[in-house]
Amino acid sequence: MESGKESMASRERPIYIVGNWKMYHTIQTSLEFLNELIPKVREAVCRIYLAVPFTSIGPMAKDIEENDSNIVIGAQNMHNASEGAFTGEIAAKMLVEAGAEFVILGHSERRRLFHEDNAFINAKVKRALTDGLQPILCIGETSQEREDGMTNEVLKRQLTECLDDIPAEQLENVLLSYEPIWAIGTDKPATPEIAQESHHFCREFLAELGGKEVADKMSILYGGSVKVDNAKALLDQPDIDGLLIGGASLSAVTFNEIISKAAAESGLEDVKADSDTAVEL
Ligand code: PEP
């Protein structure tokens, strides 16, 4: 397979730095985090997203509005139904009302611990698009699948099934995150070369699904043990358009250092952060 070096210059696409807080941070510590981060990132040239616990969405969105900040708040999951008898679940429109602008879907922790399959994730992606949330669709292979040489097959199946029946013009609004499961929370990130190879495979396959023009516009993020010291090398790859960060997003200091790496990435000066245009559904 080609390396992807001939791809559209990656900096023609915006860079996304996305934090996934998982089940960490209370409302109080979420607001303390924001208080620390907001002044540091006012001039950031990348799009800064934070996927936070449901309880923090409303207070954080309000704080961001009051401070006229460029940070975008989102959720880590939602149900596919518009409403209904689903005890303990949450609907897209409830997240939108609380101030969320995006939602992470298909994270490997949801797939593994809560048995979510591609069909369910596909229904959620469609609901998110219909109800005005930008989906961040996570895909990725296990270490066994990689060892068995199945990586591309797994990615192809996840993309085919999770994006089934989504028209090309809507695909552009989906952010994709390649997260090899063996790299999540393990301190064993994919090398930039391995990540680039998978990102390039995904982009070529997205072109089969929605056409080259759409695939070239789609942002593909990398997730899995991203830290301050590997962020820049990952962002240097032509098909890596951003980072989805778990552990290292929990501290405002570390998260800001990674945001600074994105700013140092060559050519980024032209891509101004603009949360108003981040979700154009
Ligand atoms: C994640 O939660 O999606 C993730 C990539 O976590 P970490 O950065 O901690 O590996």
List, as one string, the DSSP characters of 83-130: S-S-TT---HHHHHHHT--EEEES-HHHHHHS---HHHHHHHHHHHHH
Please tell me the total count of domains within the chain.
1
CA 223 to ligand 1 center in whole angstroms: 6
Asked, for residue 118, whether it belongs to a domain, the answer is yes
Residues 67-90 have pLDDT tens digits of 999 999 999 999 999 999 999 999
Asked, for residue 233, whether it belongs to a domain, the answer is yes
Query: Residue 247 sits in which domain range?
Result: 12-270
Average pLDDT over residues 81-105: 98
Asked, for residue 262, whether it belongs to a domain, the answer is yes
The CATH number covering residue 122 comes to 3.20.20.70
For residue 44, give the H/E element and its range.
Answer: none
Residues 140-193 have pLDDT tens digits of 999 999 999 999 999 999 999 999 999 999 999 999 999 999 999 999 999 999
| CA proximity to 231, closest of 251, 197, 250, 254 | 254
* Ligand 1 atom 7, closest CA: 246
Asked, for residue 2, whether it belongs to a domain, the answer is no
Predicted confidence (pLDDT) at residue 280 exceeds the cutoff of 60: no
Tokens of 61: 């969105």
pLDDT of residue 263: 76
Tokens of 164: 């089934």
Predicted confidence (pLDDT) at residue 281 exceeds the cutoff of 50: no
Q: Is 20 in the pocket of ligand 1 (CB under 6 A)?
A: yes
Neighbouring residues of 88: CB distance < 8 A, sequence distance ≥ 6: none
pLDDT of residue 242: 97
> Cα angle vertex 220, ends 217, 226, to 5°?
150
Pocket test for ligand 1, best of 20, 23, 25, 77 (most atoms within 8 A of CB): 20
Give this prediction's pTM. Answer: 0.92
Asked, for residue 281, whether it belongs to a domain, the answer is no
Residue 34 near residue 19, CB atoms below 8 Å: no
Asked, for residue 17, whether it belongs to a domain, the answer is yes
Q: Is 247 in the pocket of ligand 1 (CB under 6 A)?
A: yes
Asked, for residue 202, whether it belongs to a domain, the answer is yes
Active site residues: 107, 179
CA 176 to ligand 1 center in whole angstroms: 15
What percentage of residues in the chain have a pLDDT greater than 90? Answer: 88
Asked, for residue 204, whether it belongs to a domain, the answer is yes
Tokens of 26: 């209370």
The model's confidence at residue 265, banded by pLDDT at 50, 70 and 90, is low
